[in-house]
Amino acid sequence: MTALGQGWIIGGVGERAAKDALFQGLAEVAKALASGRRAEIVDLLAQGERSVEEIAGELGQSVANTSHHLRAMARAGLLTTRRQGTRIFYALASDRVAELWAAMRDVAVDHVAGIERLAGAYLGHRDGVEVIGREELAARLDRDEVVVLDVRPGAEYTAGHIAGARSVPVAELRRQIRALPKTTDVVAYCRGPFCVYADDAVRELNRKGFRARRLVDGFPEWKRAGLPVAVGNGESDDD
């Protein structure tokens, strides 16, 4: 074998190892999301920053177990952290992380057998829950033809919401329902297409005689579509 041939083999082995290492590094992102709990964390943090304790409460898990998942995701570059006193807060590293989660979710819906059945078991029958698309809702908001309810927890509304929406957490809907005008259509939205809050709100509103629908997905999708959003006290967020 010539020296040139030997060099080609050595170089080829080196290139193969480097390529393997590169793709393994890229796959670390998928590995960091390879858990239902971690996917749920991304879905939650797509609504805004939360403390470890708040995330643990949402997951129904211990703080120690939740911290383990959060640290693994942070090491993979998916999350950022900040400390406030003794509390640690986590947030998505960028909007691209939320886009990655949405793409994974949509691929699963389209290609993984049984997802529709699992969604039905969680959300219940949606026969009486009508939906409205983002563009139609945006147009009706512009014409002041609809009342929009953000039925997520109040902290998520403060972090960011559809411009013009009212904060009515689903747990408070029955108490606040009398203040809603029955002559105007109502649209409820929450975290995304698999968020049960909006479905529950629409069912309750329909029972009380309102014309109610749910947004086809949720606030993160509305924001990624570049539609009007607001933060805190309702001032527009142009970022």
Pair 184, 221 in one domain? yes
In a domain, 108, yes or no: no
In a domain, 117, yes or no: no
Structure tokens given for 176 = 């606040």
Interaxial angle between packed helices 36-45 and 63-75, expressed in degrees from 0 to 180 and rounded to the nearest 10: 80
Measured over the CA atoms of residue 205, residue 172, residue 95 and residue 45, the dihedral's sign is negative
Strands 166-167 and 146-150: parallel
Q: Which residues are part of the catalytic machinery?
A: 190
Burial class of 88 by CB neighbour count within 10 A (0 to 12, 13 to 18, 19+):
middle
In a domain, 217, yes or no: yes
Q: What is the pLDDT of residue 123?
A: 80
Q: What is the pLDDT of residue 6?
A: 52
Run of H or E residues at 162: strand 161-162
Q: Are 33 and 42 in contact (CB under 8 A)?
A: yes
Q: What is the pLDDT along the chain (239 residues), one digit of tens a residue?
A: 445 455 544 556 678 899 999 999 889 999 999 999 999 999 999 999 999 999 999 999 999 999 999 999 999 999 999 999 999 999 999 999 999 999 999 999 898 888 888 888 888 777 779 999 999 999 999 999 999 999 999 999 999 999 999 999 999 999 999 999 989 999 999 999 989 999 999 999 999 999 999 999 999 999 999 999 999 865 444 44
Domain span at residue 94?
Answer: 3-100
Pair 141, 93 in one domain? no
Closest CA to 61 of 81, 36, 85: 36
Instruction: Give me the number of domains the chain comprises.
Output: 2
In a domain, 129, yes or no: yes
- Does the pTM surpass 0.85? The reply is no
CATH number at residue 207: 3.40.250.10
Structure tokens given for 172 = 């408070």
Q: What is the DSSP letter of 99?
A: H
Pair 91, 165 in one domain? no
Q: What is the pLDDT of residue 2?
A: 47
In a domain, 167, yes or no: yes
Q: What is the pLDDT of residue 239?
A: 42
